[in-house]
Amino acid sequence: MGIEFQDVNLDGFTDIVLGTGGTLNEAKDLFIWYASSRNFTKVVFKGFDILSYFEVYDGYIENWVKGSAYAGIIQKLVWNANLLILESEESYKLE
């Protein structure tokens, strides 16, 4: 658990990533900065349950969720304001 500061939606402003715990996957909440309101807003998740280990790309986030130590799913999550929406997912397995 912990707090990280990262520009997760690539708008040029630092956002907050809050680790909320977990055993197999560390769950995370996101709070994005809105310069117009000068306030942080919690990101709402639609179509998926947990944000865990993720990588930031232009317009989307890749979310890696473990099903076990050797397998899980990779989700592509796209931005719509303060909403992250599941666009696609695929299974992965480590050999």
How confident is the model at residue 52, as a pLDDT? 95
Count the alpha carbons within 13 Å of 81 in the hemisphere toward its beta carbon.
4
Determine the average pLDDT of the residues in 14-29.
92
pLDDT(21) > 90: no
Amino acid 42: pLDDT = 96
Tens-digit pLDDT profile for residues 44-77 = 999 999 999 999 999 999 999 999 989 999 999 9
Q: Using alpha carbons, select from 43, 45, 23, 25 the residue that is nearest to residue 33.
A: 43
What is the pTM assigned to this prediction? 0.89
| 22 — pLDDT class (breaks 50, 70, 90) | confident
Q: Where do the domains of the chain lie? A: 2-93
